[in-house]
Amino acid sequence: MKILGIETSCDETGIAIYDSKKLLICNEIYSQIIIHKNFGGPVPELSSRDHIQKIIPLFLKTIKNSSIKIYDIIAISYTYGPGLSGSLMIGTSFAKSLSYKLKIPTIKINHLEGHIFSSFINNKKPKFPFISLIISGGHTMLIKIEKIGFYKILGETLDDSTGEILDKISKLLNLGYPGGKEIEKKSKKNINNYYNFPKPLTKNKNLNFSFSGLKTHIKNIINKTNLNKNIIENIAYSLQETIIDTLFIKCFRAIEFNKINNLSISGGVSINKKLKIKFLQLIKKNKTNIFFPKNSLCTDNGGMISFVGYQKFIMNNLDNNNKININTKIKI
Ligand code: KG4
Ligand code: ZN
C-alpha cells in the first residue's frame, strides 16, 4: 500500500510516499528559505505563490524518485491545518484534484499530528502512552499521547513559540533566517560568563510556556549594547542555553506529574544538536526514554504526513468528500 503525503502549511512544500512494507520510500522537500530570508520569517503571500509554482513539479519528482507509477497510490493524505491559509489551500486543492482524477480517497491530517509521529518513522519508536514536546516555528506544546487520535494538551505557549523567539532574536542580531540554525552556529564555543537570562514560567508549577518577556528582555540588552562578535556569540549562546533549560524543566515536570517515562521531542527546533545532547544527558539520569525524529523529519515535511496518513487509512479514517476545508487555527 502506497500513501501520498502532502505538506504545505508554511514555508516548505513537502511530498512523500509511505509504503506499508518498505516504509518511507521518498520524502521530497522544497524549502522557501531563500524567499523569506530577507524578511526574517515567512511572508504568507510569497509562501502561497511559491507553493503553487512548486507543487506539481515536486509531485512528479516524488513519483520518479520513488520508482512507482501514479496509479500505485491508493490514498492521499494532506495537511489541512494549522498553518497559513493560502498555503494550506494549495496543498488541499491539489490533494482533492488528484484524488478526483485517480478516484482514490483523501485523508486530512493535522500538521501537529505529523510532528508528533515524525519520531516513529524508520526509527525506534516510543511506546504508548508518551509525552510529546513539539517545538517549532509556530508551536510549543506538551501533549500526552495515549494512542493515535487520543491526545491531551498538558501545556502550551501563551505567546511566542520557541522557534519564533530564535527567529526574532536572530533578526535583531542580524544573523539571518531560520534563526534557530543561525543562533546554533554562533553558539558553538563554550562560554563561561554567559548572560543569566530569566527562564520564563519555570517557577510556576503549570506546564505552559511564555517567551515574549524573554524576547523583550534580550531586545532591551541589544538596544543598550554596542554589538561586537563576542557579545553576539554570548547572547546567542545564552539564549540557546536558556531555552534548552526552560524546555527541560517543563518536560521533566510533565514526566513526573504524569508518571510517564517516554518523551518524544519533534518540530524544527528539535534538530538542534546542543538541545539533543543536553536532553540525552539529563534524561539518562532520570531513567526516561527519549526519542527524536531523524534530521530530515524535524522541520516540516511530507514524510510525517504520509506516515500518519497510512495509520489513519488502516483505521478507515477517510475524508470522503470533494470539499476543500482547511482550518488555520486548529489545535490537536
Ligand atoms: O517545524 P518547522 O519547520 O516549522 C513549523 O512548523 O513552524 O520549524 C521551523 C523552526 C524555525 O523557527 C527555525 O528557526 C527552527 O525551526 N530551527 C532551529 C534550527 N533549525 C531550524 N532551531 C534550533 N536549532 C536549529 N538548528
Ligand atoms: Zn511544523
Cell 549562546, residue located? 237
What SS3 state is found at 149?
A: coil
The residues with which 5 forms a beta bridge, in sequence order, are: 16, 77
pTM above 0.85, yes or no: yes
CA distance 147 to 145: 6
Tally Cβ neighbours within 10 Å of residue 217: 15
Ligand 1 pocket, residues with Cβ under 6 angstroms: 10, 136-138, 163, 166-167, 178-181, 184, 267-269, 271-272, 299-300
Per-residue pLDDT band for 228 (boundaries 50, 70, 90) equals: very high
**Cβ distance 329 to 81 under 8 Å?**
yes
Nearest-ligand number for the alpha carbon of 266: 1
The residues with which 167 forms a beta bridge, in sequence order, are: none
Residue 285 pLDDT exceeds 80:
no
pLDDT in tens, 42-87: 999 999 999 999 999 999 999 999 999 999 999 999 999 999 999 9
CB-based burial label for 319 (10 Å; 0-12, 13-18, 19+): buried
Give 35's contacts (C-beta < 8 A, 6+ positions apart). 11, 43, 46, 47, 50
Average pLDDT over residues 135-141: 97
Taking CA atoms, 54 is separated from 17, 118, 172, 283, in Å, by 17, 23, 31, 41
Nearest-ligand number for the alpha carbon of 33: 1
User: Ligand 1, from 177, 181, 243: best to mutate by most atoms within 8 Å of Cβ?
Assistant: 181
Instruction: State in Å: Cα 267 to ligand 2 middle.
Output: 6
Nearest-ligand number for the alpha carbon of 271: 1
pLDDT in tens, 163-203: 999 999 999 999 999 999 999 999 999 898 999 999 999 99
pLDDT in tens, 79-131: 999 999 999 999 999 999 999 999 999 999 999 999 999 999 977 899 999 99
